Structure 1
Amino acid sequence: MTVIRRLALYAALPLVLVAVAGYGWYQFSDTGKRWRYEDALAGYCQGLIPAEESAVLTGYDTDAGLPLDYRDGGPGGYEFCKVGRHTLVIAEIPADARDDDGRPGVFDRLRPSPTGTLPLPLGGGWHGYTNRVSAAVVLTCAGRESSVVVGSQTGGDTVAGSAVARLLTATAERAADRWDCDAQTGGATPDDYPEPQEKSRFEAEGTCAGLPLRDRDDIDWIRETTAAPGTAPLESCVLGAARDAESRPELFGLTASFGPFAQAVAPLGDGADPEAGRLGDLLWGTAACPGDGARARFTLDPASPAGEGDDAFARAALAAFAERAAKQHGCTGLRLPD
């Protein structure tokens, strides 16, 4: 009996050693770490987060890298999860959905964080943007009135740059495939998203092009985006003054919102939101864009109460800004305030 027990022990010992070695390899090797990370992702955020693109931001850390997974399953539901320091919202948004300014929903999650950087086109043929804090990509589903949208908000001093752009586009492709959304996608995104710098009003060539600035001596500088025109769901132009070396205030901000980002604009004033109008000094107009359920929204917002001559300029500036943006996005039926 003793001999049999010893033989059994000798036979089992190699198996135990193999199991211990295998466990140690799985726990501590780089390959094992990657496998554990991929296993965790399979059930994280409905399995929509890609391993390769997310690992750049998490270092394959399944604890600190994947700390939040929430699903809002009600009307207008969405996936809400964190990848490293980046909070993602993933949703298919019907074209007739609107932000009713009621309980927090997907549009609140998508709304860009305030930042000094203009919304920059995501590039690579994608319909998206980044302002280096917030970013998003939109895929319009062919044959049905909805869009797959993946947005990101960045915490701390982390920049929503090229790594986030690659994560969002890869996630959007996975979501579109999962939800049977036939959509046109893009290719490689840029390696960097430099911040637009102030320049002379006479150098406008992008989102500020065409504005009646020649005779506005009070406007000393502009900020605009020039890359990939007509591809970002958010566009901006800023006009400012240079009163002295330290005082360079913004005077006017113009913004264009398309697709889900036009849907996310809460109604202005009471009752039905007209296609064009004003609320105080804020002016807005709209246009119908192909594939979008909501009319694109164009706004001009003065940083301070309008002065003498500002009203006529504001109307002319909004008209020029909206006409350029609408044309580049293929929008028609532009309506402007009377």
Structure 2
Amino acid sequence: MLYSAGIFGDKGDAGSLNRACDGTLAQGGISAALHSSHFSADEEGEGDSDYLASCRIRNPESGPQASSLELKLRWSTTKTPSAMLTWYNADYDGVRGQAAPLGDGWSGVVRHEGGTYQVMAALDCVNQKNKALVAYGDLLGTANDTTLTGLGRVTTETARKAAEKHGCQVKAGRRLTDLSTARLGAPGAAKPLPQAEGSCAALRGTDAERNGTPEVMEYPADPDAPQTNCFLVTKAKKPGYGLYAYYGAAAKDFLTSEGNQLREGYGPTHGDRDYAWATATCPQSDQRAVFVLYRLYDGDTDTYPVPHFSDSFAHDALQLFAEHEAKQRGCTDVRMTPRA
């Protein structure tokens, strides 16, 4: 148990670990994340001004047991990273854009795409308005609840150390102890809309059933998470609509990510995608929060599970979602905006 917790054991190249990510790598949790007591670290992206620091930690295994952990740190005031890192361009594609809150007081989420789990944390600098330390931790390799919890610990604690090193005072959460792969839902686990009590609670009073989505896939309500999402699901257990909320640094990154360029006074330009759009003013940042609803596409069947998009339903559902979210965060001035 002590080996798996990273308390005892051969931690490999101690020098490389101490230098990793500009000396801010938090080593607690690495053994659990990589399922190994021996690993080494490499600096990445030297001279890349887009990142404050970047490093990769690997275990020495080969084959199915091989795994690595990649960390990237940046200020929210720098250039937004590529869509491959932020994943926001997948929001309209089934549940690919889903994110579950980290919990335990952390401003962060956990995501999953293909064979990669990612923990993202965005820690606001309370002494530097509109600046946040944003950390991305990607786990490449076999994942389970233990490795995911380790990834969460490394990412959040490294973000806290890096922020403090650079004079950014943050409100950190508690040590993560129980991240689970089950936090990321599956359409088959959907439940009837009247039973919604988490991120989809605001939609209980809508006519979603009449619009082809009588069930929901939701996540725990968490006022600290930089992203919230809710999925309305068809009788065939297919995600039909996705509702997303973004705050602070996550809202800024969403707006500038690929395919989401904001036109003044309008929502993002999404070609022929069906969506509704809203914003709100929040106390944590001058960056307005963003709320968006998409009619979702099903890549497995090359169809839209909801065959007919209703502008009026989308508008009403998103407005309820946005107003509920805003109330939980102390946000005001919710504005529904016209489509571009």
Aligned residue number for residue 80 of structure 1: 54
Which string of whole-angstrom CA distances, capped at 9 and with x for unpartnered residues, describes residues 130-165 of structure 1? 125221112111221311111122324425721111
Q: What residue identity is the alignment partner of 1:77?
A: Y
Q: Structure 2 length normalisation: TM-score?
A: 0.75
Aligned residue number for residue 285 of structure 1: 278
Structure 1 residue 308: Cα displacement: 5.8
Q: Cα distance 1:216–1:127, how it changes in 2: closer, same or farther (>3 A)? A: same
Distance (Å, rounded) in 2 between the aligned partners of 1:148 and 1:286: 23
The reply to whether residue 146 of structure 1 matches residue 131 of structure 2 is yes
Q: What residue identity is the alignment partner of 2:238?
A: P
Structure 1 residue 60: Cα displacement: 4.2
Aligned residue number for residue 322 of structure 1: 322
Which string of whole-angstrom CA distances, capped at 9 and with x for unpartnered residues, describes residues 152-181 of structure 1? 223244257211111112111210121111
The reply to whether residue 56 of structure 1 matches residue 32 of structure 2 is yes
Which string of whole-angstrom CA distances, capped at 9 and with x for unpartnered residues, describes residues 227-266 of structure 1? 4x211111111111124xxxx3221111111111111124
Q: What residue identity is the alignment partner of 1:172?
A: A
Distance (Å, rounded) in 2 between the aligned partners of 1:181 and 1:215: 44
**1:142-221 alignment, distance < 5 Å:** 142-144=126-128, 145-159=130-144, 161-193=148-180, 194-195=182-183, 196=185, 197-211=189-203, 212-214=205-207, 216-217=209-210, 218-221=212-215
Aligned residue number for residue 40 of structure 1: 16
Distance (Å, rounded) in 2 between the aligned partners of 1:172 and 1:179: 11
* Contact 1:238–1:253 (CA under 8 A) maintained in structure 2: yes
Is the partner of 1:192 in helix, strand or coil?
A: coil
**1:252-331 alignment, distance < 5 Å:** 252-267=241-256, 272-274=263-265, 276=267, 279=270, 280=272, 281-303=274-296, 304=304, 310-331=310-331
Farther off after superposition, 264-273 or 201-210 = 264-273
Fraction of identical pairs, as percent:
24
Which string of whole-angstrom CA distances, capped at 9 and with x for unpartnered residues, describes residues 192-220 of structure 1? 33334310111111111122434624223
Q: Cα distance 1:333–1:190, how it changes in 2: closer, same or farther (>3 A)? A: farther
Distance (Å, rounded) in 1 between the aligned partners of 2:260 and 2:109: 28
Distance (Å, rounded) in 2 between the aligned partners of 1:44 and 1:89: 11
CA-based RMSD: 3.0
Q: What residue identity is the alignment partner of 2:125?
A: C
Q: Structure 1 length normalisation: TM-score?
A: 0.76
Is the partner of 1:336 in helix, strand or coil?
A: strand
Aligned length: 293
Is the partner of 2:229 in helix, strand or coil?
A: strand
* Contact 1:89–1:106 (CA under 8 A) maintained in structure 2: no
Structure 1 residue 185: Cα displacement: 1.0
Q: What residue identity is the alignment partner of 1:174?
A: K
Kindly name which structure, 1 or 2, has the bigger radius of gyration based on alpha carbons: 1
Distance (Å, rounded) in 1 between the aligned partners of 2:104 and 2:262: 40
Q: Cα distance 1:220–1:305, how it changes in 2: closer, same or farther (>3 A)? A: closer
Q: What residue identity is the alignment partner of 1:136?
A: M
Q: Which runs of 5+ in 2 are unaligned?
A: 1-6, 59-67, 297-303
**1:206-245 alignment, distance < 5 Å:** 206-211=198-203, 212-214=205-207, 216-217=209-210, 218-227=212-221, 229-243=222-236
Distance (Å, rounded) in 2 between the aligned partners of 1:334 and 1:170: 34
Distance (Å, rounded) in 2 between the aligned partners of 1:263 and 1:289: 13
